[in-house]
Structure formats: structure tokens, C-alpha cells
Amino acid sequence: MDRVKATMRVKRYSPRTMKTYCYWIRYFIRFHGVRHPADMGGPEVKAFLEHLAVQRHVAAATQNQALNALVFLYRHVLDQPLGDIGEFSHAKRPRRLPVVLSHDEVIRVLDQLSGSMHVMASLMYGSGLRVLETCRLRVRDIDFERQIITVRAGKGDKDRTTLLPATCIPALQHQIAIAEQQLDYRLHHGQVPVTLPHALDRKYPNAGISSAWQWLFPASRPSFDETGKVVLHHIHPSAVQKAVRQAMRAASLPRPGSCHTLRHSFATQLLSQGTDIRTVQELLGHKSVETTQIYTHVLGKGFAGVRSPLG
């Protein structure tokens, strides 16, 4: 497993991907009686994937995730590619339309939130950010003059820019002021730096205690990084998800959702206003326009100008 982690670090895999792949590799090894993966191959992988689909009833995406982890293990760590593992029972991938809220419903949810949680939920709806992208925002990512937000190392390790809602500017300026106050406090009480990507802390030793690199939404207390150094991380996504779910229940919505529902609602609102689907794709950071097209089925009207024969 040390070799697996080292290989993923070299290939710049995200921490979440590393954690997920390690989970499936360990699961695969335990499923086959703690045999070494080098002594196994395609038949064992096929049996494991069928077990996930038939006995565990996992979703298609989950089964594919496990397959990707094992392909990585054999191709990049053991240097013995699996090749064709043959036909196996695939988990069914049902087509699901995303839950979206109207603008009034979103406002009702936002009214149930306060402080930084209100700001984060507003950005997920007003800018189309994912919850983790919102948590990872730094002071340097906000451009008030051009009214844009830069999302760095988003899904697929890609950067993009998106809209900065004018109504969020005062709240974000307040968040930046709080971040600078907290930085001043830490500078006088131990100089706890913020976490930095890759080896940036070695290249720029003072970046972790500079105002530009501070988290907009930091964790409540410092923690240890992988090297045992005391650092300040961003707020954990689960705290935001819990707050948004509670707000949606308090708003008595007919279709309660999650943080991602706010992002879905951002997309449908833009499309209903006549925004070009390619523009929406760029703002959301979707790799393919086919992913964005799912929102056209949620609108319920305006299918490229087509009207029902009954009017």
C-alpha cells in the first residue's frame, strides 16, 4: 500500500482519489482471502466486480470506481496490466434527473442560514460551485473588480473562472477581513500557516502566512498535516452539507436536496434565462456538454422552442 500511495503522489492524484483507491484495493485483497494482488489477475477482478453488483447491489458509478482502482493497481504499481477481463455483471446505471429548486425556494433556504454558511450556500447557488470548491476558496481567488471567482484545481485538477454575484461582495469582503484578523492573531501566537498545494511551502516559505493564501472559510482549529506539521486547513465539507440539509428541512421544501442541489439550480436558472449551454458548461466546469444537457430535461419548457400540439 505504501507503493500504491507513492505512485499516486507522483501522478498528482487528489487526496480524495487516493483515499478511495486505497479503500477498493484493500477491499479486493480482503475479498480474496488476503492474497497478494501479484498472484491474482483478471478472473479474480471479474469475481470481485460481480460480487459488488450482485451481492452488494452497488451503483454503476461505484462499480466503475472499484474497477478504475484495480486497473491503476495492476497497470501502474504491479506493472502487469489486466488486459481483457471478460464479461462480468455490470451494475445498472439508471438515468436520474437532478433535483432543482426555484429561485424563491433557494431564497427560503438561504434565509435559514447565517454567517459563513450563508455565504457558502450563496456561492454554490450564485456561482455554481461544488461544495469542496467553495470550501477551498482563498483570498487570492476573489476578483472584486472583474466580479469573477477563480476555481483552482477543481474536479479533474482543472482551473476555471465563474461568476461572482454582486450581492455576495459585501459578505466576501467581511470574510476576507476576518481571515486577515485571524492571520494577525496566529502571527502573534505561534505563526500557524495554512495548508498549501504540493511543494509550494518549500518554494515560497512565507506563502502560508501571507494574506493572499488564507482560506476564506478556515477550520475552527489547526490540525496536523501528513508530515506532522501544525497547519490550518479549510472547513470540512461535511459541516457545510449538514448545515444546508438542516436549512432545507427548515424551509419545508417539497423536494429537499443537498449542497449539489444549489449548483443544479444555478444551471437551470441560467438556461431558463436563455444562457447558451456552452457558457453554462464552462461555468460549471463540465468536461462534456452532454453532462450539461441533462438540465434541459429539468426545465419542463423551452425545449429549443418546441411547443406541444395542444399549445
Residue 194: phi and psi, rounded to 5, are -85, 160
Architecture of domain 2-77: Orthogonal Bundle (1.10)
| Residue of 118, 186, 234, 286 marked catalytic | 286
Q: How would residue 305 be classed by pLDDT, with cut points 50, 70 and 90?
A: low
Residues 45-57 have a mean pLDDT of 90
Please state the pTM of the whole predicted model.
Answer: 0.80
Query: How far, rounded to the nearest angstrom, does the alpha carbon of residue 60 sit from its chain's CA centroid?
Result: 19
Residues 96-120 have a mean pLDDT of 92
Q: What per-residue confidence (pLDDT) applies to 285? A: 92
- Structure-derived torsion over alpha carbons of residues 71, 20, 39, 35, reported in degrees to the nearest 10: -160
Which residues, listed in sequence order, are joined to residue 218 by a DSSP beta bridge? 234
| Residue of 74, 118, 130, 186 marked catalytic | 130
Please indicate whether residue 155 is annotated as part of the active site.
yes
Q: What per-residue confidence (pLDDT) applies to 198? A: 74
Please indicate whether residue 260 is annotated as part of the active site.
yes
For residue 245, what are the CA distances in angstroms to 232, 235, 239, 268? 26, 17, 10, 20
Please indicate whether residue 297 is annotated as part of the active site.
no
Q: CA 83 to CA 130: how far, in whole Å? A: 35
| pLDDT (tens digit per residue) in 232-264 | 999 999 999 999 999 999 999 888 889 999 999
Please indicate whether residue 27 is annotated as part of the active site.
no
Please indicate whether residue 263 is annotated as part of the active site.
yes
| Residue of 76, 155, 229, 245 marked catalytic | 155
Q: Which amino acid is at 63?
A: Q
Name the class of domain 96-311. mainly alpha
For the beta sheet containing 142-143, the strands, ordered from the edge strand earlier in sequence to the opposite edge, are 142-143, 148-151, 160-163
| Residue of 136, 186, 263, 264 marked catalytic | 263
Please indicate whether residue 295 is annotated as part of the active site.
yes
Q: What per-residue confidence (pLDDT) applies to 157? A: 81
**Domains in the chain: boundaries:** 2-77, 96-311
